[in-house]
Amino acid sequence: MIRIREISVDGAARLLQLMEELDHEADYLLYEPGERPMDEEAFRDHIQKLDPPGFGTFFVAEARRDLSSASGDETELAGYLEVRRLPWARVRHRAYLVIGILKRHGGKGVGTRLMKEVELWARRNGVRRLYLTLIAENRAAAGLYRKMGYEVEGRHPASMRLGDRYVEELTMGKWLD
Ligand SMILES: CC(C)(COP(=O)(O)OP(=O)(O)OC[C@H]1O[C@@H](n2cnc3c(N)ncnc32)[C@H](O)[C@@H]1OP(=O)(O)O)[C@@H](O)C(=O)NCCC(=O)NCCS
């Protein structure tokens, strides 16, 4: 069973651990392993300063571990979604999001649930436009965003470098009626 919830500073250590695991296993995220610029203290500080309220948050998908797990924890984080916006009048109707799900929890609807949750958050907080970027060849991400009603708004050739290849990035967005 998966539970979606918003995290507070108390969840910083587990979330950072999840992000670092994703940096190791996912090819299409911004950071290569070891590049993430925040340690736990800086990350706690970052979460604490997500302010004013309603201008950014982190959602996590928490999965119950199977009983054979060697770890003492009953749950593990399967994925997260970060949403952020700027507070100024001319741009505060838009918010940017990033999502990551661990491979072992992929393809089971977790991404869809997180994307639905951020839409509820956006509507509650007066956000009208959600947008994101992705590497064009990331088929899983493109499939998820299209399914959720996002459209391609911009193309950015050679925007990221994966190994020795320069790859195209896309901006996708969705207007919330
Ligand atoms: C992209 C990602 C968020 C999808 O999350 P998910 O929990 O697997 O997605 P869901 O199970 O909710 O599936 C939703 C849709 O995504 C697409 N999708 C998911 N996994 C896919 C795969 N392996 N191949 C192709 N399409 C896939 C499908 O369109 C799917 O819809 P369907 O179930 O009706 O076919 C996840 O694969 C991930 O985090 N990958 C690594 C990090 C990453 O690339 N993040 C995005 C950066 S822009």
SS3 157: strand
**Cβ of 102 less than 6 Å from ligand 1:** no
**Cβ of 4 less than 6 Å from ligand 1:** no
**Cβ of 110 less than 6 Å from ligand 1:** yes
Which residue CA neighbors atom 19 of ligand 1 most closely? 140
Residue 140 — φ and ψ, nearest 5°?
Answer: -65, -45
CA of residue 147 to ligand 1 center, whole Å:
10
Q: What is the pLDDT of residue 52?
A: 72
CA of residue 143 to ligand 1 center, whole Å:
6
Is residue 82 assigned to a domain?
yes
State yes or no: pLDDT of 66 exceeds 80: no
Q: 77, 97, 101: which to mutate for ligand 1, most atoms within 8 A of CB?
A: 101
**Cβ of 12 less than 6 Å from ligand 1:** no
Q: What is the pLDDT of residue 48?
A: 87
State yes or no: pLDDT of 50 exceeds 90: no
Is residue 146 assigned to a domain?
no
Is residue 173 assigned to a domain?
no
CATH number at residue 32: 3.40.630.30
**Beta strand segments in 72-164, E:** 75-84, 94-101, 129-135, 151-162
**Structural domain tally of the chain?**
1
Which structural domain range is residue 84 located in?
A: 2-128
Q: What percent of the chain has pLDDT over 90?
A: 88
Q: What is the largest CA-CA distance in the chain?
A: 52
Is residue 147 assigned to a domain?
no
Angle, helix 40-48 to helix 12-25, in steps of 10 degrees: 120
**Cβ of 19 less than 6 Å from ligand 1:** no
Is residue 49 assigned to a domain?
yes
Is residue 52 reached through a cis peptide bond, with omega within 30 degrees of 0 on the bond before it? yes
> Element (H or E) spanning 23, and its range?
helix 12-25
Q: What is the pLDDT of residue 72?
A: 67
Q: Which atom of ligand 1 is nearest to the CA of 25?
A: 41
**Cβ of 130 less than 6 Å from ligand 1:** no
Is residue 43 assigned to a domain?
yes
**Cβ of 141 less than 6 Å from ligand 1:** yes
Average pLDDT over residues 73-87: 94
Is residue 143 assigned to a domain?
no
